[in-house]
Amino acid sequence: MRIDAVELSVVRLPLVRPFETSFGRMSAREFVLVAARQDGVTGWGECVADVDPYYSSETTATSWHVLAKYLVPSVLGAEIEHPRLLHGFWKRVRGHRMAKAALEMAAWDLHARLERLPLCEVLGGTARPIAAGVSIGIHETPAALVERVQSELAEGYRRVKIKIKPGWDRAPVEAIRETCGDIALMVDANAAYQASDADVLAELDRFHLMMIEQPLDYDDLVQHARLQPSLGTPICLDESITGPQAALDALDLEACRIINIKPGRMGGFGPSLAVHAIAQERDIPLWHGGMLESGIGRAHNLHLSTLPGFVLPGDVAASRRYFVPDLIDPPIEVAPDGTIAVPAGPGTGVTPMPDRLRAATLHTERFCA
């Protein structure tokens, strides 16, 4: 492929309801959207970096900077044999994985559209209904949380994940177990605990959670490896798994038993496929994470979720939990059985509605070969 033009936009979409995690409260997504063009065909990519450097060090502004100054100029007019090679091609640019992923995933979408194939096939998956779970933020009270959980269960979702932090952990989990029984339940701490909190985390064992996601610091594999043997609950790593090397290190150290894949966190589909292969070989269950994406990023996530290693329900839920309207139409919906259909290709099968994109765009810049 040879990308002849790239358009970068900063898009702002208010969230249907604020989302609170241990690192803060989000009420809107403001992100860079990438459109990569060749011969009049467009591939789309959504950058998952947030305005604030809280989940990761990248932000909307840093991703724009790195895309506009380094990544986009490096691909314009260049002969690219396959999008899977892009991540290696950008090795000289250290870090900035979310920025890299946004352009790399636009290139994968473009490649699939030029080949007239659904993205999932190009990635090595097969279209199948994707089991959907929900990620529920920190609430004012356990009662308010329980109400939210019940309404999500009524929609059919197959797994509930709640956000926890010190002081908001045992009580909400206990309230859910008391009212909702034996549902598939897990917690995500977003790195809010310290090694010295091992006792608090071990207390959660009695609730038979599917896993505890990223209890300790975002770059700390060693402490997770020390913590895991003291817990009955499997640790799942999110923030810590920045790519294939981190996955190998985490598994060698036995720092986790489950991995959450987010292509944005790892630099794109190329590194995600490598982590998928590692997990398959070592029999490590995977699930697909979410970053409050619009329908563009959500569709990418669904296509990747068709690979066989994704055996647990992901954080890939219906558009209406996040944005009304979504950038895409029709929106992503969940079926009563708690699954989501992969949009039919070519590519991701979804495109932003021009009027909605225009209304949500704060700034745009075109780059041509």
Under rule CB under 6 A, residue 292 binds ligand OSB: yes
Token reading at 230: 């003291």
How many whole angstroms separate alpha carbon 80 and alpha carbon 298? 25
Does residue number 238 form part of the binding site for ligand OSB (CB under 6 A)?
yes
Token readout for 105 is 């995933």
Q: Do the beta carbons of residue 189 and residue 22 sit within 8 Å?
A: yes
Catalytic residue among 100, 161, 165, 262: 262
Q: Does 317 participate in binding ligand OSB (rule CB under 6 A)?
A: yes
- CB of 72 within 8 A of CB of 93? no
Residue 131: which H helix or E strand, with range?
strand 130-131
Site string (194-213) toward Mg ion, x via CB under 5 A: -------------------x
The entry of Mg ion, ligand OSB, none near residue 271 (CB within 5 to 8 angstroms by kind) is: none
- Residue 50: strand pairing partners: 59
| Known catalytic membership, residue 161 | no
The span from the CA of 135 to the CA of 288, in Å, is: 12
Query: Among all chains, which residue has been given the structure tokens 């305005």?
Result: 51
**CA gap 211, 222 in Å, rounded:** 18
Contact window for ligand OSB (CB under 6 A) among 100-108, 280-288, 290-298, 324-332 = 290-298
In whole angstroms, what is the distance from residue 340 CA to residue 301 CA?
11
- Rounded to whole angstroms, the Cα distance separating 21 from 265 reads 17
Q: Closest approach of Cβ 198 to ligand OSB, in Å?
A: 21
Whose CA is closest to 69, among 61, 78, 77? Answer: 61
CB of 220 to ligand OSB, least distance (A): 16
**CB of 211 vs Mg ion, minimal distance in Å:** 11
CB of 133 to ligand OSB, least distance (A): 9
CA 48 – CA 127 distance, rounded (Å): 24
Work out which of 45, 289, 295, 343 binds ligand OSB, going by CB under 6 A.
Answer: 289
What are the structure tokens assigned to 237, written together? 């790593």
Confirm or reject binding of residue 188 to Mg ion (CB under 5 A). Answer: yes
Residue at shortest CB range from ligand OSB: 290
Does 188 bind ligand OSB (CB under 6 A)? Our answer is: yes
Q: Which is nearer to ligand OSB, 135 or 242 (CB)?
A: 135
Pick the binder of Mg ion from 104, 109, 238, 293 (CB under 5 A): 238
The active-site residue out of 100, 161, 163, 165 is: 163
Q: How far apart are CA 131 and CA 340, in angstroms?
A: 7
Lookup: tokens for 239: 């923030």
315 binds Mg ion (CB under 5 A): no
290 binds ligand OSB (CB under 6 A): yes
Our finding on whether 263 is near ligand OSB (CB under 6 A) is no
Does the annotation count 91 as an active-site position? no
Nearest distance, CB of residue 238 and ligand OSB, angstroms: 5
| CA dihedral sign, ordered 55, 322, 357, 266 | positive
292 binds, among ligand OSB, Mg ion, none (CB under 5 to 8 A by kind): ligand OSB
Which residue stretch of 1-9, 57-65, 285-293, 332-340 sits at the interface with ligand OSB (rule: CB under 6 A)?
Answer: 285-293
> Helices (DSSP H) in 197-258: which residue ranges?
198-202, 221-227, 244-253
Catalytic center residues: 163, 262
Binding residues vs Mg ion (CB under 5 A) = 188, 213, 238
Residues lying near ligand OSB in the complex (CB under 6 A) are found at 55, 135, 188, 190, 238, 289-292, 315, 317
